[in-house]
Chain A
């Protein structure tokens, strides 16, 4: 794994920094230089709240190389409250607690390791919304 490849995504991985389109106003995550809605240039940074709900989920038993030690683990599509859907792992919950529509919040966790001595990549996962956060 190359350090720079993950280093340049640190704002996205640690803080969910996406973009707002100046032209149509849509919020984008992951950020892309061309707006997904209107194809205008999108440059304005926007930090997502990290709150959303489970849109779909599944559990992986046969993991790809680099993720074997984590298996089994659950991945989800999470619909952020600002609109975009992100792919991420669910954490701090059992599979039988998961349901479509479940409120979740972003946390920072270990995404993958590269052997015993290699780099550790951190980034966002989602857990059930904690009580005090839910009452806003």
Chain B
């Protein structure tokens, strides 16, 4: 197996892009990654996306994006794993390079979800859940997470305000990222005054949807000696429905994919310098920290309260705003996370730079934990 390097990074800002279609978003990010890598021709394109069929009446994104990038003839396919689509596309790109079958792969995550009415967007998102046994009861994605959060608070004795550090950290970091959707810091008081979306989830516990695309150009590491390496890559799955989980307060797929990625990298959580976690909802950030080994069961919120998730803490998270402030274009998010982790390791994170970061981890969650992709990156050059 060959080691994989990230030679190019590209992204659009996360916005309501009224002027850009889904193909234009994907092409913009793809071209930016190709330009960053100084590569003109690729062997394959893997596109992560969730809702294009429902919201854009456009499937077949592999061929569409290859066509409009001028990469006629390449192998190209869309991968769908709900909000875990882009992390899953990354995984396929890595397998393609590592196996020796491909020498240059473009992975793109793209989502265009703000021009439909909210009821339609909400209905499209809930297709990530079990249609016959969750969706038919009128659940929304937010409400599934609200059910988990209420149970978490019940079992571990937390109050709503205890979750504030996740939002405060994300919004403070997003203010330093020009591609972030929200660029205003918030306070504890603002967090606690957030409108209730689905009790106990309020506005600042939920991440905003948006339009956007992020892309990476992957090559064999031997061809790119100074580039950021992908030293761990794994995807794991769990039951689709929350109600079928043996323990809904434990992200089994996060634990499994993280353990596989740690084993490949030959490291443990203590070696990770920053963690781009999937803070689609505050409780998911806590559960990710626990399942990935940064906190004991039920202690993810405590870790945040102790300040350890902030840029100067033990394990900085959401360093460029996370899903909460950068925004959550669902099927693109997994590649925003990895793009941000790569920029941090390159020293290209601007005002959001975590000094001296050498090892970064990104974890992308599909649905309410049914598909989880974990990637570990390492900078080969010591600072």
Contacts and interface: CB of A to CB of B under 8 A. Distances in A.
Q: Do A and B come from one complex?
A: yes
Given A36-B239, A86-B243, A61 B198 contact: yes
A107 interface: no
A87 B241 contact: yes
Contacts of B241: 30, 87
Contacts of A88: 137
Given A61-B197, A63-B138, A100 B126 contact: no
Contacts of A112: 136, 138
A75 B139 contact: yes
Contact of A63 (B119, B151, B196): B119
Contacts of B196: 61
Given A75-B138, A100-B150, A87 B243 contact: yes
B383 interface: no
Interface in B109-156: 118-120, 122-123, 126, 130, 132-140, 142-143, 146-148, 150-151, 154
Interface string A47-59: 0000000011111
Interface string A103-132: 000000001100000000101000000000
B242 interface: yes
Contacts of A6: 136
A62 B136 contact: no
Q: Assign chain A's interface to a size class.
A: 35 or more
Given A86-B133, A111-B136, A36 B244 contact: yes
A61 B196 CA distance: 9
Interface centre among B119, B135, B248, by most chain A C-beta atoms within 10 angstroms, is B119
Contact of A56 (B138, B150, B201): B150
B119 A64 contact: yes
Contacts of A67: 138
B184 interface: no
21 contacts: A30-B133, A55-B151, A56-B148, A57-B150, A58-B199, A58-B201, A59-B199, A60-B138, A60-B139, A61-B197, A62-B197, A63-B122, A64-B123, A65-B123, A66-B138, A75-B147, A77-B151, A77-B242, A85-B244, A87-B134, A100-B154
Interface of A: 5-6, 9, 30, 36, 55-68, 70, 73, 75-77, 84-89, 95, 100, 111-112, 121, 123
Given A75-B143, A86-B243, A87-B147, 16 more contacts: A30-B130, A36-B244, A56-B147, A57-B147, A60-B138, A62-B140, A62-B197, A64-B123, A64-B126, A64-B140, A75-B138, A76-B147, A85-B244, A89-B138, A121-B136, A123-B136
